[in-house]
Amino acid sequence: MSKLEIIEKTPINIIELKQKLKSIKKRDGELTFRGKKTEEYLNDFARLPKKSADELIGKLRKLKITRLKEEFIQKIVDLMPTSAAELKVVLQGYTLSVSNEDMKKIIKVVKDYTK
């Protein structure tokens, strides 16, 4: 049995995952059982088109919030919190403290992309 080695770990959001799953489906013709379940989930919860998601990620990066890592930005894009309370819930799973001022900046940017 061959030994698998992780070369790189890059966080992605569900919109990017949906795109990757489409390319796998196109390549293989059909998805596995888990792939189909994942596709159903992504169709229900992916809220933004790829272009809008990329713009939102760029704007969140431009805020230059010191402790806001790429994985946190991706999670914010996945869940699209519209209030400080929702953002706290999104980030509470991580060892991260964000000031109220920074939270307001994040929410202001995210609200531009919610409908």
Q: Encode pLDDT of 33-48 as tens digits.
A: 999 999 999 999 888 8
- The distance of Cα 112 from the centroid of its chain, to the nearest Å, equals 16
pLDDT on residue 96: 81
Q: What is the DSSP string of 13-63?
A: -HHHHHHHHHHHHHHHSS--HHHHHHHHHHHHH--S-HHHHHHHHHHHHHT
| pTM, two decimal places | 0.82
Query: Which parts of the chain register pLDDT below 70?
Result: 1
pLDDT at 6: 87
Q: Rounded to an integer, what distance in angstroms lies between the CA atom of residue 37 and that of residue 23?
A: 16
Res 22: pLDDT? 92
